Chains A and B, each alone.
Chain A
Amino acid sequence: MTRETFLNVILFAILPVTALAAFALDEPFIITLATKAAILALAGVGLNIALGLGGLVSFGHAAFFGLGGYAMGILASHAQSYTPLMETPFLIEGTKSMLVIWGVAIIAAALAALAIGALSLRTTGVYFIMITLAFGQMLYYFAISWPAYGGEDGLSIYIRNDFPGLNTLDPIQFFAIAFGVLAIVLFGAGRLAKAPFGLALSAARQNAERVETVGLTPFRIRLVAFVISGAVTGLAGALFADLNRFVSPTMFSWHTSGEIMIFVILGGVGRLFGPVAGAALFILLEHTLGGISEFWQVYLGLLLLGVVLFARGGLIGTIAGREVAHD
């Protein structure tokens, strides 16, 4: 077992161990924190597919996170007020079923990623960063100025949505759901990285000319990666909204995009478990530093600056060595 694999096992175990310990000690708030870390890690795993594997520096992933959140908010708010979403040309009802909501969130985020990606991927480098940022911001302002679903104030959902066979209001059971989704997606993302698609995607990041010369189209490969990446982050958004039982335009804000990126970077770009490490560290910092000072983001900023300037492999890179494993 390599050092990174060993570290991955520990990282994978850290969230459920924390949650179970908190359950044993009857600390539901800690369980909720672990749940939050799992969900944010999921958003990071999504971004990491575009950023780590594909080298696509998207600063607009809040768009997909927010769409997932609003998919939950809109469907559940209609269900709780017993009003249909739409009556003509056909009837669409709201729902409290998590599984249905996830499906809608994934599809909505994937479609948005398809449109945003098709436009943004025509450009590269700094243009790509600025354009994805601008698209995220576009949805942010749209959410603020669209009055039907709460506008600036957002939407509250009174009761957490249903999952077959589980009581989602029980913190440990909801944690199990979030962590289960994270585990499945991590497995899928790990396979994807090693699959033919992952080989071509990562090759397009290293040398797009090479990929073209072997007869593959980098644009198409990147677009598919961007769609998958957006869909995963959208799913995380739906879970995040369910955790808080609240959605607001903040989910779309560019700070959210920045934070998702921070999870990936703190953990280590392109590492499968990087976002898990990064999100866990972020939550830990938020609640230790946040307890010390109201202005804890100053320290977060300094830490991030330090990681970027001096520890470029992130947490995993620093512990397991710079080289990303290739097998």
Chain B
Amino acid sequence: MSLILLIEQVLNGLQFGVMLFLMAAGLTLIFGVMGLINLAHGSLYMVGAFAAAAVAGWTGSFALALVAALAAAAAAGALVELLVIRRLYDRDHLDQVLATFALILIFSEGTRWLFGSFPLFLDVPAALAGPVMLPGGILYPLYRLVIIGVGLLVALGLFWLIAKTRIGVQIRAGEADREMIAALGVDISKLYTLVFALGAALAGLAGALVGAIQSVQVGMGEPVLILAFVVIVIGGIGSIKGALVGSLLVGLTDTLGGVLLPPLLGIFMQASSATSVGSAVASMAIYILMVGVLLFKPSGLFGGT
């Protein structure tokens, strides 16, 4: 394996990682502030992707498509919060899991109803299409680099939001003590709707950005959702920093595992069986990573006690 290929794969891993971060950040924020486990987060990712694909289809503008993705996912998130989610804050996790699983069924089948079962396609905008030359003579798709950049910017923005703004103060206070911040006169239900919509918008953004490199189809959010759970388990629930570190770890492990394991196993066994064993093991690599973290830190790398 050449160094160039390796660097390419590292970049792919990073790109995958920041996508996961956009999902995991919303999930972990919602859990940290409201104590809610939201399985339907993957549906909001899908809503973002479909909104972007539909708007790009009508207008031909990728920028408008992104705006539509953010708006649609945030609106869907706020609506779901108002109608369903707020009845679940005081319920146990089982009820939350079931109700949000029910939301997945409704979202998925509803989307299939509206858009049909065939995948939609969202094109990479012309300005971002094609490869760029990186130092060292590596050709890499510009769009993927932009995704990495957007993801890191969002991460910075979130850290800033939580550390420096009024909303951030309220979010941190809400994590510490719900009743206290209600007593201080913060409109807690408005705050919850806002946080939920923010998380939804991040998921929608991720869906739209990834929609341009994969097909846009029903159920696309579910594998990402489960990987985002793995990220949160690794990073620690409620921690944005944990979500970032966990995302990058999972993204890199998944991408590099698929590339590196088969040739690595090839040293010990025949090439053909090394490929099949290698790909099977690689498909489990992130879960093995999760187990490893869990053995030493049951509440995740950056989790509380």
Q: Do chains A and B touch in the complex (CB under 8 A)?
A: yes
Interface residues of A (CB under 8 A from B): 51, 57, 59, 119, 122-123, 125-127, 129-131, 133-135, 137-138, 141-142, 144-148, 254, 258, 261-262, 265, 269, 295-298, 300-302, 304-305, 308-309, 312
Instruction: Pick from B37, B95, B226, B279: contact of A134, CB below 8 A.
Output: B226
Chain B residues with CB below 8 A from A125, complex form: 93
A249 to chain B, nearest CB (A): 11
Q: In the bound complex, how far is the Cα of B19 from the Cα of A154, in angstroms?
A: 31
Using A145-B279, A305-B84, A305-B99 as known contacts, say yes or no to A131 and B106 having CB atoms under 8 A apart: no
Taking Cβ atoms with an 8 Å cutoff, the residues of B that contact A are 31, 37, 84, 87, 91, 93-95, 97-99, 101-106, 108-110, 112-113, 222, 226, 229-230, 232-233, 237, 276, 279-280, 282-284, 287, 290-291, 294-295, 298-299
For residue B230, which residues in chain A have a CB less than 8 angstroms away from its CB? 130, 134
Evaluate contact between B103 and A305: CB separation under 8 angstroms: yes
Residues of B within 8 A of A145 (CB): 276, 279-280, 282-283
Contact B93 A130 (CB under 8 A): no
CB distance from A39 to the nearest CB of B (A): 21
Q: Which residue of A lies closest to B95 (CB)?
A: A308
User: B98 contacts A295, CB within 8 Å?
Assistant: no
A59 to B233, CA, bound (A): 15
Contacts between the two chains (Cβ within 8 Å), count: 115
Whether the pair A304, B294 counts as a contact (CB closer than 8 A) is no
Residues of B within 8 A of A57 (CB): 93-94, 97
A254 with B102: CB separation less than 8 A = no
Contact in complex: A302, B102 (CB < 8 Å): yes
When C-beta atoms are compared, the residue in chain B nearest to A131 turns out to be: B233
Contacts of A301 in B (CB 8 A): 102-106, 109
Knowing A123-B294, A138-B284 are in contact, say whether A309-B87 is a contact too (CB < 8 A): yes
Q: Is the CB of B298 within 8 A of A123?
A: yes
Give the residue name and chain of the B residue nearest to A128 (CB).
Answer: B93
State whether B110 touches A298 (Cβ < 8 A): yes
Shortest C-beta distance, A268 to chain B (Å), equals 13
CB of B280 within 8 A of CB of A126, answer: no
- CB proximity of B267 to chain A, nearest CB, Å: 20
Give the chain A neighbours of B294 by CB distance below 8 A. 119, 122-123, 131
Nearest 10 pairs of A and B residues by beta carbon? A301-B105, A138-B287, A301-B106, A304-B102, A141-B283, A130-B229, A305-B102, A298-B109, A301-B102, A145-B283
A138 to B286, CA, bound (A): 9
Q: Establish whether residues B276 and A147, one from each chain, have CB atoms under 8 Å apart when the complex forms.
A: yes
* Chain B residues whose CB sits within 8 angstroms of the CB of A59 once the complex forms: 97
Listed residue (B84, B110, B229) with the most chain A CB atoms within 10 angstroms of its CB: B229
CB neighbours of A119 from chain B (8 A): 291, 294-295
Chain B residues with Cβ below 8 Å from A137 are: 226, 287
With both beta carbons as reference points, the residue of chain B lying nearest to A309 in the complex is identified as B87
CB distance from B279 to the nearest CB of A (A): 5
Given contacts A129-B37, A130-B229, A304-B105, contact A295 B112 (CB under 8 A): yes
